Amino acid sequence: MTTPTPDSPAGNGTPTAVLFDFGGVLTSSVFEAFEQLGASLGCDPRLPLRLLAEDPAARALLVEHEEGRIAEAEFERGFAACLRSHGVDADATGLVRRMQSNLRADTDMIRLAAEVRAAGFRVGLLSNSLGDDCYAGFDLEAMFDAVTISGRIGVRKPSQRAYMIACASLDSEPRDTVMVDDLRQNVAAAERAGLTGLLHREAPDTAERLWGALGMRRSC
């Protein structure tokens, strides 16, 4: 077992708070989950993600849903229509839940969040919500000091306002906060908002870099 210990005394300008993304950070890869959805629909596995990233109609639906302006069912109907326009015989019902069924909790990252909190740092969640019940099985209020979800606040990452709201909820200044996210554009946006950005790929590497950013080292 490793125990984090300070590299230097407190008050040296190192961060005091951490924000974690949800999908792709506390869970397995969202990219892979969408590719598995595409494969199950019998199309190019990359098509669903490509539409959400590049197709204006699909992208607008995603933004509206993540910001809480349309519900899951309306997003699914619109997204299914986008898929059908590309030759995919997609039933709207349950599209989001089919994607979410391919996600698994990343126990190493969940443990890391708990360890950072136990070490005395304030720990929060900043997540773009996809689906009306995408956090089922996670006791977010118990896991975090503050929970900021795009569908509740009406704004999504990479908007600077989302980071400001999350920091305020965590009672932390942006300059004192690290944002852990699996999307490069969200990490870059966090840095533009004054936070320290940390791009997540694998739990061991993220843990090492996060403890370093927090001015801590891990000893046996």
Residue 219 pLDDT level (bands cut at 50, 70, 90): low
pLDDT for the residue 220:
44
Measured in whole angstroms, the distance separating CA 194 from the mean position of its chain's CA atoms is 18
Asked if 127 contacts 22 with a C-beta cutoff of 8 angstroms, the reply is: yes
Residue 11 pLDDT level (bands cut at 50, 70, 90): very low
pLDDT tens-digit readout, 37-46: 999 999 999 9
Residue 8 pLDDT level (bands cut at 50, 70, 90): very low
Tokens in use for 20? 């974690």
pLDDT for the residue 218:
64
C-alpha–C-alpha distance, residues 207 and 218, integer Å: 10
E-assigned strands of the chain?
3-6, 17-20, 122-127, 146-149, 177-181, 196-199, 216-219
- Nearest-5° angle of CA 188, CA 160, CA 143? 85
Total-model pTM: 0.92
Closest CA relative to residue 184, chosen from 13, 53, 59: 53
pLDDT tens-digit readout, 61-115: 999 999 999 999 999 999 999 999 999 999 999 999 999 999 999 999 999 999 9
User: What b-and-e string marks burial along 9-46, b requiring 16 or more CB atoms within 10 Å of the CB?
Assistant: eeeeebbbbbbbbbbbbbbbbbeebbbbbbeebebebe
Question: Is residue 182 pLDDT above 70, yes or no?
Answer: yes
- In the predicted model, what is the mean pLDDT of residues 131-149? 95
Closest CA relative to residue 205, chosen from 180, 184, 185, 188: 180
Asked if 121 contacts 18 with a C-beta cutoff of 8 angstroms, the reply is: yes
Query: Could you tell me what percent of the chain has a pLDDT over 90?
Result: 90
Residue 2 pLDDT level (bands cut at 50, 70, 90): low
pLDDT for the residue 123:
98
Residue 5 pLDDT level (bands cut at 50, 70, 90): low
Tokens in use for 18? 């951490």
pLDDT for the residue 46:
97
pLDDT higher for 48 or 217?
48
